[in-house]
Amino acid sequence: MDNRLKMGLRPRPNIGLGKASFDSAAPKAPIAPASRPSVMQAPVLVLNATFEPINVTAVRRALVLMLKGVAQAEETNPATVHSTSSKIQVPSVIRLLSYRHIPQQSRALSRKNILLRDRNTCQFCGTALPASELTLDHVMPRSRGGRSSWENLVACCYDCNNRKGDRTPEEAGLKLQRRPRPFTLHTSRQLMRLIGHRDEKWRKYLFY
């Protein structure tokens, strides 16, 4: 006889902690739909209120500007994004509703803007790669007085970066694809035209 019964206690209940009974009793978590990061990161042409092209941004940022009432869509793509209460067509071109003065100066020096200027292309071997597979290289090494500037920083693949090491391109037997320069409004418009070749909706706005 069970010792618990001898002592006048109730037997322990069988709560079924085996793996099979636990798994069968556990509620099934809903499977989240697959995200579409490529749609939200697709490029969108930004026009000033005067229809002058001034920038390229991502779909995510363009939607924020539209929802805030700062911009409106001039051209859209067939894809749509859904919120809790509405469905919005993905913009291809947006226009600011108020005129913004754009100063004639270069962009802030950053890794993102260096890669954008160099079109995600290694400036030594000419290979185009995703941003995650690129680094920045100081043409004149920092150990030898090279500064972190537009004129001394270039996009570089890891293979060329390791090959160059702490040397100049000439010492490492490498040659720059083009001389690095600041990211100006002229550079920005060149990139707009480059991207515009892939999206015909942009072409009528890129007359500069």
pTM higher than 0.75: no
- pLDDT score, position 185: 63
**Mapping DSSP to helix (H, G, I), strand (E, B) and coil, where does residue 49 land?**
coil
Q: Is 28 exposed, middle or buried (0-12, 13-18, 19+ CB in 10 A)?
A: exposed
- pLDDT score, position 5: 47
Calpha distance 148→139 (Å, rounded): 10
Highest mean pLDDT among 2-6, 112-116, 118-122, 184-188: 118-122
Task: Please give the average per-residue pLDDT across 137-164, as a whole number.
Answer: 95
Strands 134-138, 53-58: parallel, antiparallel or unpaired by DSSP?
A: unpaired
Calpha distance 19→153 (Å, rounded): 57
- pLDDT score, position 193: 72
Residue, of 201 and 37, whose pLDDT is higher? 201
**Mapping DSSP to helix (H, G, I), strand (E, B) and coil, where does residue 129 land?**
coil
- 10-24, 95-109, 134-148: segment of lowest average pLDDT: 10-24
Sequence ranges of the domains in the chain: 39-104+184-208, 106-183
What mean pLDDT value characterizes the chain?
80
pLDDT tens digit string along 101-113?
A: 876 655 778 898 8
CATH topology of domain 106-183: DNA Binding (I), subunit A (1.10.30)
pLDDT tens digit string along 22-60?
A: 343 444 444 344 444 578 888 899 999 999 888 888 899
Calpha distance 138→92 (Å, rounded): 35
